[in-house]
Amino acid sequence: MNNLKRILVLTMAIMLVTVSAISAGAELSNAPFPNSENNSGGEYTLVVEGYDWGPAVNKVILSMGETVSSVNPKDYTVKVERSTECVELKGEEASGERSIIHAYVSDEHGNNMESGAYVTLVMFVSPRLPLGSPFKYTRNEKCRGNVWVDYRMTITEKTTKQVWDTESGRLSLTLDKFDLSGRYETSEEFSMSYAVYTPEKKDGKTPLIIWLHGGGEGGTDPSVPLMANRAANYASDEIQAIFKGAYVLVPQCPGAWMLNAKGVMNHGEGEDMYHKGLMEFIKNFVGTHPDIDSDRIYVGGCSNGGYMSLKLILQHPDYFAAGFISALAYQSKYISDEQIESIKNVPMWFVHAADDQTTKPDQTVLPVYKRLMAAGAKNVHLSYYDHVVDITGFYGGEDYHYEGHWSWIYSHANYCWQDYDGSAVELNGRPVHIMEWLAAQKK
């Protein structure tokens, strides 16, 4: 009997240990982000790049803590949480899992290597994937326009349970080319943040490209107008090669370029509150950079910035070598015949879409263009599209339509080449795109 009791006690002890082990295992497997004492809290670097529709987190670089020579993307999961004080994000906007489409061994900057101490995961991005975007566009009492969100990742290696959940930095091949620290105090009693790309020094003078953002990119963070609609692309190798090096200046309005002193949107019928201070800043910037070619200063913008670009040309028709304007918000009925006459010799290239419901073309660009042509303009062009489509072909090509207001996509990508009648815009008998045309303009 004593032996039987000892056997029963031993059996019960074994069962108790087994049940405890099963329970512990179940608790670990149900944890959303498994951790262990030796494999937790790894660091990662976000890679943010600009696309036609806006910015996206397209890569994440993991610090491995040791040298590795191979990686399998199927071994990893990437979970994301997004939040902002501007608005409560819900559902697929707030959290979820990112799709990994490729992985490779890299250095800390994401450059491919045969072996190294970092792994780069490449993730799927899309204009219809809010979880991929570090931006959120809102219009409420807290925020107006595009803002950076709090973007948190948890990356797990499924076999080892190693976790990376601490962001150590961010990289952007295009954004990192710009100095974002600029700030100018105008005599009009407002401050203006700005970003600037400075090309490599060269012999002779250097042209200046000025880009004026849309209504959703105002504020005090000039990275927003650079990334919200890919304006940073004017510093790309492709476009810089066309100009053989050019400054890119991106002023940021504290609010919206079209606002008047009462805070009401002005479409040309009255006086806005920013154009004098903006022009003061531009002249100051040119004056403090003596290598800028004053005969090759180009001004462009979209929507709100399209309004302001034309406003500056109307006010200073002899200052700019050319204008490139997308989604023009300046209404034609507020431009006099005398003003049309004063700017008819300024080279301009307009870009617009027929289905733009925000800056309706029959009120803005179409009458402005036709009036300029009727006045005898010789170097004014209009690329006019039925829709704004996916020019990459990745998301449907001609069958994928962005919002009609987003015609600046064509300008940023140096895609425009057709004039209003469908013919190619030519330069010295050769068809050119908008940036090639712009680079050739000179006062």
Q: Give the list of residues 6+ apart from residue 317 with CB closer than 8 angstroms, or none.
A: 342, 343, 345, 346
Residues 162-207 pLDDT 10s: 999 999 999 999 899 999 999 999 999 999 999 999 999 889 999 9
pLDDT at position 133 is 98
pLDDT digits (tens, 9 = 90+) for 355-410: 999 999 999 999 999 999 999 999 999 999 999 999 999 999 999 999 999 999 99
- Output the six-digit token pair for 198: 């400075």
- Asked if residues 98 and 58 have their Cβ atoms less than 8 Å apart, the reply is no
Q: Which amino acid is at 279?
A: M
Between CA 93 and CA 419, with CA 410 as vertex, the angle to 5 degrees is 150
Ramachandran angles phi, psi of 227, nearest 5°: -105, -25
- CA 315, 319, 321, 324 dihedral sign is negative
pLDDT given for residue 279 in this prediction: 98
Output the pLDDT for position 9.
34
Q: Where are the beta strands (DSSP E) in 223-342?
A: 247-252, 292-302, 322-326
Beta bridge partners of 102: 122
Confidence band for 141, pLDDT divided at 50, 70 and 90: confident
Of 3-17, 134-148, 369-383, minimum mean pLDDT range: 3-17
Q: Report which DSSP code applies to 437.
A: H
pLDDT tens-digit readout, 300-331: 999 999 999 999 999 999 999 999 999 999 99
**In terms of residues, how long is the chain?**
443
Topology of the domain covering 175-440: Rossmann fold (3.40.50)
CA dihedral 219, 220, 225, 227 (to 10 degrees): -120
pLDDT of residue 202: 86
Mean pLDDT value of segment 17-32: 29
Q: Which tens digits make up the pLDDT trace of 48-107?
A: 999 999 999 999 999 999 999 999 999 999 999 999 999 999 999 999 999 999 999 999
Give the pLDDT band of residue 32 (cuts 50, 70, 90). very low
Q: Is the pLDDT of residue 261 over 50?
A: yes
Element (H, E) at 21: helix 2-29
Q: Where are the alpha helices (DSSP H) in 316-424?
A: 337-343, 365-374, 408-412
Query: What rounded mean pLDDT belongs to the chain?
Result: 91
State how far the Cα of 81 lies from the Cα of 94, in Å rounded to an integer.
6
Q: Give yes or no for residue 35 having a pLDDT over 90.
A: no
Asked if the model's pLDDT at residue 7 lies above 60, the reply is no
Quote the percentage of the chain above a pLDDT of 90. Answer: 88
Place of tokens 């949480």: 81
Instruction: Count Cα atoms within 13 angstroms, Cβ side, for 293.
Output: 24
Does residue 16 carry a pLDDT above 60? no
Cα separation of the two ends of the chain: 111
**pLDDT above 60 for 249:** yes
User: Phi, psi (5° rounding) for residue 318?
Assistant: -100, 0
Q: How far is residue 118's CA from residue 67's CA, in Å, rounded to a whole number?
A: 8
What are the residue ranges spanned by the domains of the chain? 42-171, 175-440
- Residue predicted with more confidence, 431 or 31: 431
Q: Spell out the CATH class of 42-171.
A: mainly beta
pLDDT class for 212, splitting at 50, 70, 90? Answer: very high
Model confidence at 151: pLDDT above 60: yes
pLDDT at position 24 over 50: no
206-212/191-197 β-pairing: unpaired
- In this model, does residue 22 exceed pLDDT 70? no
At 40, the pLDDT band (50, 70, 90 cuts) reads low
Confidence of residue 2 (pLDDT cuts 50, 70, 90): very low
C-alpha 40/C-alpha 42 separation (Å) is 6
Find out whether 252 and 192 touch, Cβ atoms under 8 Å.
yes
**Residue 29 vs residue 300, higher pLDDT:** 300
Write down the pTM of the prediction: 0.89
Please report the pLDDT score of residue 305 as a whole number: 98
User: b vs e for 408-426, b when ≥16 Cβ sit within 10 Å of the residue's Cβ?
Assistant: bbbbbbbbbbbbbeeeebe
